[in-house]
Amino acid sequence: MKRSIKSQITAVTVCITLFITFLMASVCYFTFQSLLKKSLIQSTHYSLRQAFTPITANLESLMDLCTWADDTPRIASYFSGSQRNNTGKLDAFSRMSEEYKNNKANDYISRIIISDTNGHFIQEVRNVTDTSASDAKIASSLPCFETLLSASSFEWVGIIEDPHAKFPGKQILPFVRPMHHLYRSDVIGWTYLAVSTTLITDRLKDYPLPSDSSLYLTLGKTTYLVEGTSLIEITPSYQIIATEENACLIEDSSGKRHTIVSINGIDGWHLSQSLSEQEFSSQKRVYYALLLMACLIILGLGIALVLFLNRIINIPIRSISKKLSAISAGDFSCDPEIEWEHELGTIGKGINRLSRDVVTLMDKRIEDEKQKKELEYQILQSQINPHFLYNTLNSIKWMATIQNANGIAEMTTSLARLLKSISKGTRQLIPIKEELSLLQDYVLIQNYRYGGIVEVSYSIPDTTLPDYVIPKLTLQPIVENAIFHGIEAKGENGLITVSLHQEGSDLYIDITDNGVGMSKELITQVLSGAIHDAKSDFFRKVGIHNVDLRLKYTFGSNYGLRIDSKEGEYTTMTVVLPLRKEKNNYD
């Protein structure tokens, strides 16, 4: 099916526009996805930090209080036995109470107990009614007590039920650290803090959490789901798919994937949030609307481009097509209307130039055919009735032989052979050896006519060269020119040398005379046909210019005559031919 350029341009433009639109949409989509996700991660990470920072600050204050007893000589002196009396106990309690009340997180401390290993202890509680003589023993009997006491630093076992509570359900976060001897490294006691979970829930209950997102708190190896003021212990089962800064992609046991953003507090504490898909989707919808608008704008521009290209291309193409139809109909006139100042105008200029070249070529072809016919006619004019003239000359030869006029016999024989060779057959190409034989007869006749003023020598180093062909009557006009215009004009005997040599696939025949020579202007005039030979009567129609044209018409423009001359010394006319055998070159 034939397709127009217009349809192809339209199709290509539409395809490119759609491709660019799709490419831009894809790049923007994935870029936006990445940026949006990164923005949500950063926003969530910032919110988590804002919520977790106060919790971390309170934890650090509580940790300082828990280690304070080990660093306070007044407390250590009482429990090491150096001040084991009521005054020492009262002094230690007063110091502990002061530190307890000055702690910025004291609102969350349910109980602080400082005890030695022998059961002597002091404590501060939120409610005075919550005390008993066995409080230290109850604290030390916790399952996690020894683990917390023997740890090199603070250890987190999670949230436990308060062992001192009168009613079940109260949860606390236990702190336990050892107390050492005042002067030795022996462990002589411990400090126990029971911290209310409101330390955590007061800060997280108002945390802005989307409906499809979850908040998690990790304490050591235990994870809790934060729901308002409740901390629900969970055992998550998941697999980490990929990690990035401040976040990781996980896959839960049901195969669903979540992006979890985490922030670290003190060692062992982590606050995490799963990203909201609803929030992500709502922002994506805004992006989709913007992306759709951008795609529509690009498509609109693409349609405008198609219309514009159709307008600037269709008119020139129609004009060029119309001109080509006119050329095919034989109208080779130039049309300036198709020479625009753009690429199609270059084509239009090329078409006009082609029209001019075709006209020039046709005129030249007609002129060449006319000259060729004229040359053939001139060759025919130079031919004489062969039978009548040959029989007459043969009779003259026998009469001269009977009368012992050998010169007349030789001259008549040469003339007969010369005329017979000229008129014999219709071949235009003959072997060089036949052309040389014809030349010898011609020179013999001229020597008898002018008293032997010309000597001709031949130089043929390669005996195979004379077997190649040459147009009939090529060498004779050149030698005739050398005799009449070179040697005779000099007024003394002359020498003409004919030499053959091969260069590559070409054959060169040099005819050199020691006559008067030729000027450059005269050489140009002779080759152009501006000067005709007026002295030669028999072969005057077959002149130098004629020879050059016949060689070019026969073998091509690379072949023909070349003339080199120096006035007063010599003239060399070189015939340049291709190497062709006689059997392949009959006309």
- DSSP string over 28-65: HHHHHHHHHHHHHHHHHHHHHHHHHHHHHHHHHHHHHH
Whether the predicted pLDDT of 511 surpasses 70: yes
CA distance 301 to 7: 18
| Res 524: pLDDT | 87
Quickly count: other Cβ atoms within 10 Å of residue 426's Cβ: 6
For residue 227, give the nearest of 249, 200, 248, 260 by alpha carbon: 200
Q: Which of 344-348, 379-383, 389-393, 459-463 has the lowest mean pLDDT?
A: 379-383
Question: Structural domain boundaries of the chain?
Answer: 1-301, 332-376, 426-584
Whether the predicted pLDDT of 408 surpasses 80: no
Q: Give me the chain's average pLDDT, please.
A: 82
For residue 473, give the nearest of 577, 543, 576, 527 by alpha carbon: 543
Inter-residue contact 349 to 336 (CB < 8 Å): no
DSSP 3-state of 380: helix
Residue 572's DSSP bridge partners are: 512, 564
Residue 455's DSSP bridge partners are: 495
CA distance 401 to 349: 76
Quickly count: other Cβ atoms within 10 Å of residue 469's Cβ: 25
pLDDT single digits (tens) 378-392: 655 455 455 455 556
pLDDT single digits (tens) 298-340: 778 778 877 777 777 777 777 878 878 888 887 878 888 777 7
pLDDT-derived band at 394 (thresholds 50, 70, 90) equals low
In this prediction, residues 85-94 reach a mean pLDDT of: 80
For residue 244, give the nearest of 27, 29, 28, 44 by alpha carbon: 44
CA distance 337 to 524: 43
310 exposed, middle or buried (CB, 10 Å; 0-12, 13-18, 19+)?
A: middle
∠ CA(384), CA(386), CA(387), 5° rounding? 140
CATH number of the domain at 426-584, please? 3.30.565.10
pLDDT-derived band at 215 (thresholds 50, 70, 90) equals very high
**DSSP state at residue 311:** H
Q: Which of 9-13, 269-273, 343-347 has the lowest mean pLDDT?
A: 9-13
| Res 553: pLDDT | 87
pLDDT single digits (tens) 7-48: 666 677 777 777 877 777 777 767 777 777 788 888 889 999
pLDDT single digits (tens) 157-211: 999 999 988 888 889 999 999 988 877 788 889 999 999 999 999 989 888 888 8
